[in-house]
Structure 1
Amino acid sequence: MKLNLRQVEVFRAVMTTGTIRGASELLFVSQPAVSRLLSHMEIQIGFALFERIRGRLHATQEAKKLYHEVEAVYERMQRLNELASELKEHQEGILNLVASPSLGQMLIPSAIARYRQHHPQVKLGFHYLTHLPLAERLLKQQADLAVTILPLNHPNLAQEEIGTGKMVCICPYNHPLSRLAMLNVQDLLPYPFISYDRNSPFGKMVQQFMQQQEQSPKVVLEVGSPQNACALVQAGVGISLVDQFSAQSWATSRFVTRPIMNAPSLHIYLIHVRSEPVSRLAQAFIETLKTVIAEERY
């Protein structure tokens, strides 16, 4: 049993409009033609798609499940048409980038600005995402490159370390910790501490660091990301540990940054799909990004 595209089109039209008449008007064909194609489709697949009650069509549960898959196909077709149009408009090409929020606030925008100076005709897409959605974009080939501070361990993804930073402490201006040039974990203990969801990748990193130091800070709030922590520290809620990249992205912040003894290193990872060759446009962006990272001394 194989369904053809015309049958799928008719089925979707009936599901969308709810009537044979509506489907015929949508597809610019006669009502008998729609009914005939629909009946043939039901015979072919071996079960009813609609129940006819008081002259109206009601989709069966099987039809609803099919419709879900049909809509996914149409979404892919729509994306295909959009891509074809974009490729026609942007002859030099299209490059889609994703990054973790820590790097997406400052580092990647700086690299994009530099890249566009030499590739003004390339259409760029850029989103910053959390860990799992970022990997999903790559695996679905909705992004060409990802840049993140956390490794993505997946057999279908290749990653390269292209920069290094540190975990640092941030505290409000005029805070007692701001008077110290270097902190240790014990220095943090008297003050309200903004931490992270323990199941989040960065939260696990902070928790592991605290356990290694055999200390437990006074947690008053848990947040989802270092960027959230920066905003709260700036508001005076407490102190926190964040990655160096997030702290430096708040150029006009009202908090200060201090190094911590024995703080773990954080790395910048460049990630792409292993089975796909890196395009010329992507390779040019990688070189630009590495230049920016070197200039920032990460």
Structure 2
Amino acid sequence: MEEVNQTGGLGRTESSGLVFRQLEIFHAIMTTGSVNAASRLLNVSQPSLSRSLQRLEDQLGLPLFHRHRKRLLPSEEARRLFGEVDPIIAQMRALTDSIAHVIEGQTSLFRFAHTQSVGRQLVSHAIRLMKTRQPELKVFLDALPRMQHVDYLLGGKGECLVSLALLDHPLLVSRVIARAPLVAAFSADHPLATLDMLRASDLAGVDLISFEHDGPHFAAISTFLADAPTLPREVAFIRFADAGISLAYQGVGVALLDSFTLAGNLPDGLVTRPLENAPEFIARLYWNGERPGSRFVQAFGDALVRAVALYPDLTPVKEPSDD
């Protein structure tokens, strides 16, 4: 059995105050009602545990228990102290379990964020690929607008973030995952459905589903339409790209969207067309360089690249070699 040393088990002198081991012993006696049961619970010899309890009472300057036959009856002060100690013991035990899981490689919760464009297909596919190798994996997904990206990573709420936005901050590190072009999407009965490829001039006067006038989508659309003699009519404005799929399907207008959003299955009756000299989007995995995160960040990046290879309109981007 473990022996509690003369300083309460953690190498501190009595004059330096209480230590966690003393509180743990007090908690065990309170919950079991006897020194004998507490000693078995903590795997500590009864004489050693009794001495530790006596030192605790001496330090506090008050009796914590009244001896009655074979039972220890807590004093009113002990009951009040227990109310403070009980949640601390629970937290420390949970922390001990978490540390053990980390050491043993059993930590399985992976929290990260993504934008709607990459979240519709690519992120979900990457998670499935990760879980085939790590079935115990649990994920917590945060879907964030672009203006929250930097604060999310600097605040440490999640380990990483996948986005089409270019984030410029000295503490952020990124890995390029893939690139994909701007594409037109519209209902199958739209007049443009007869064309195999669209030029900017083909959109002259056409009803257009546009974006807020900032961010990567609006920039790409503006670049594509820069030389158009006549601009399309902006009839709807969206913040998230996946909303363009529903609006285009309903015939509201033509949506110019990134191919990440349009990857995978689309509603019957929605068609897409490539654009001549289409601007490209780049998907990047970002994380805080001062908080490199768990092993899941690297595994997630690798899974994203493997998922990209399954979609013909997305082009994986290989990381540069250190050689």
TM-score interval (norm. to shorter): 0.5 to 0.7
**SS of corresponding position for 2:310:** helix
**SS of corresponding position for 1:296:** coil
**1:122-161, aligned counterparts within 5 Å?**
122-161=137-176
One-letter code of the match for 2:171? Answer: N
Matched, 1:230 2:245: yes
Q: How far 1:231 sits from its partner (Å)?
A: 1.1
Using the aligned pairs only, state the percent identity. Answer: 25
User: Of 300, 313, 316, which residue of structure 2 is paired with 1:285?
Assistant: 300
Conserved? CA contact 2:249–2:267, under 8 Å: no
Q: How far 1:146 sits from its partner (Å)?
A: 1.1
- Provide the residue aligned with 1:163 in structure 2: 178
Q: How far 1:228 sits from its partner (Å)?
A: 1.5
Q: How far 1:215 sits from its partner (Å)?
A: 4.3
- Provide the residue aligned with 2:114 in structure 1: 99
- Provide the residue aligned with 2:200 in structure 1: 185
One-letter code of the match for 1:283? Answer: Q
Consecutive unaligned residues of structure 1, counting only runs of 5 or more, are 1-27, 30-78
One-letter code of the match for 1:110? Answer: H
Q: How far 1:295 sits from its partner (Å)?
A: 2.8
Provide the TM-score with structure 2 as the length reference.
0.62
Conserved? CA contact 1:198–1:207, under 8 Å: no
Q: C-alpha deviations, 1:112-151, integer Å up to 9, x for none? A: 0111111112221112221122332211111112111121
- CA gap 1:191/1:93 in 2 versus in 1, 3 angstroms: same
Q: C-alpha deviations, 1:204-230, integer Å up to 9, x for none? A: 332243235454211112221221111
- Provide the residue aligned with 2:189 in structure 1: 174
- CA gap 1:247/1:120 in 2 versus in 1, 3 angstroms: same
**1:177-216, aligned counterparts within 5 Å?**
177-213=192-228, 215-216=230-231
RMSD (Å), alpha carbons: 2.7
Consecutive unaligned residues of structure 2, counting only runs of 5 or more, are 1-78, 81-90, 315-323
Q: Which has the larger radius of gyration?
A: 2
**SS of corresponding position for 1:190:** coil
- CA gap 1:139/1:212 in 2 versus in 1, 3 angstroms: farther
Aligned length: 222
Q: How far 1:166 sits from its partner (Å)?
A: 0.3
